């Protein structure tokens, strides 16, 4: 793992209106299979990707939101959500899916994957990454 790079996927688009959100999710899952150190950031309209209760039945598109629940199983468990973006959109963490992962070092204890961060904190997270992918 010593030569693993820190990959950050930055998600700034709402789901369904464009293909960015879904494409990002696909690339994240592919990247996770290569055992890199993966983080996700959701900011601007990207925070809408994580809303709970999405139901696409009436618009004839695939509802890919349940897939975010699977990220923990791929050891993608550093999911940064920007606080300012949520607030500007009248949202709070309660409006988002509860994403968790199981820590094998602590007898598979279930832990939260989402980390609520300010824009300043997110800036620090970004500067610590090796590679940034934008969607």
**Tokens encoding 49:** 């990707």
Q: Which residue has the tokens 């590679």?
A: 131
User: Cα Rg for the chain, rounded, in angstroms?
Assistant: 15
Q: Confirm or reject binding of residue 120 to other proteins (CB under 8 A).
A: no
Stretch that binds other proteins, among 44-52, 69-77, 117-125, 127-135 (CB under 8 A): 44-52
Tell me the number of residues near other proteins by CB under 8 A: 25
Instruction: Kindly state the smallest distance separating residue 53's Cβ from other proteins, in Å.
Output: 4
Q: Confirm or reject binding of residue 98 to other proteins (CB under 8 A).
A: no
**CA pair distance 101, 57, nearest whole angstrom:** 28
Instruction: Identify which of residues 13 and 78 has a Cβ nearer to other proteins in the complex.
Output: 13
- Percent of the chain that is helix, strand, coil (3-state, to 5): 40, 25, 35
Instruction: Kindly state the smallest distance separating residue 19's Cβ from other proteins, in Å.
Output: 12
Residues between 72 and 91 with contacts to other proteins, criterion CB under 8 A:
88-90
């Amino acid at each position: 793992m010593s030569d693993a790079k820190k990959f950050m996927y930055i998600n700034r688009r709402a789901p369904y209106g464009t293909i960015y959100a879904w494409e990002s999710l696909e690339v994240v899952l592919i990247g996770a299979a290569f055992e890199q150190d993966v983080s996700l950031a959701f900011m601007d309209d990207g925070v809408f990707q994580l809303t709970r209760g999405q139901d696409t039945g009436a618009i004839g598109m695939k509802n890919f939101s349940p897939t975010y629940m699977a990220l923990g199983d791929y050891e993608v468990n550093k999911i940064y959500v920007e606080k300012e973006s949520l607030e500007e959109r009248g949202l709070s963490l309660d409006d988002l899916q509860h994403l968790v992962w199981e820590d094998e070092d602590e007898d598979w204890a279930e832990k939260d994957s989402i980390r609520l961060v300010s824009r300043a904190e997110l800036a620090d997270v970004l500067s610590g990454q090796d590679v940034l992918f934008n969607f």
